[in-house]
């Protein structure tokens, strides 16, 4: 789990393989929308596939989707950052 920066609200990256990702966020994002988050001065974009309210907490929305427009370097950085936190 890695805390990431949003324009509004908070989120944490729960899982990624460099192609798709799952986040828990304080704000909802409808399917088909672009969800933007930042990590280590890099902005990532996620094409939302599903957004579900999962629990009552600070970050109740589980957002799943496909990462888009990433270089190989950014994909590797994202996967390594998550792996180092486990």
DSSP assignment of 1-68, as one string? -EEEE-SSSEEEEEEE-SSEEEEEESS---TTSEEEEEETTEEEEEEEEEEEE--SSSS-EEEEEEEE
For 41, the token pair is: 């001065």
Instruction: Indicate the domain borders of the chain.
Output: 2-85
Q: What is the mean pLDDT of residues 28-37?
A: 94
- pTM of the prediction? 0.88
pLDDT in tens, 44-80: 999 999 999 987 788 899 999 999 999 999 999 889 8
Written out in words, the top-level CATH class of the domain with range 2-85 is mainly beta
**Residue 60: predicted pLDDT:** 93
Dihedral-angle region of residue 59 (phi above 0 means left; psi in -120 to 50 means alpha; beta otherwise):
beta
Closest CA to 46 of 73, 18, 27, 72: 18
């Amino acid at each position: 789990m890695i805390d990431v920066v949003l324009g509004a609200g908070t989120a944490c990256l729960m899982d990624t393989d460099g192609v798709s990702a799952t986040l828990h966020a304080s704000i909802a994002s409808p399917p088909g929308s672009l969800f933007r988050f930042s990590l280590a001065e890099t902005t990532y974009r996620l094409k939302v596939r599903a957004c579900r309210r999962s629990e009552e907490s600070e970050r109740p929305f589980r957002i799943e989707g496909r990462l888009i427009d990433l270089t190989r370097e950014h994909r590797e950085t994202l996967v390594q950052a998550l792996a180092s936190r486990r």
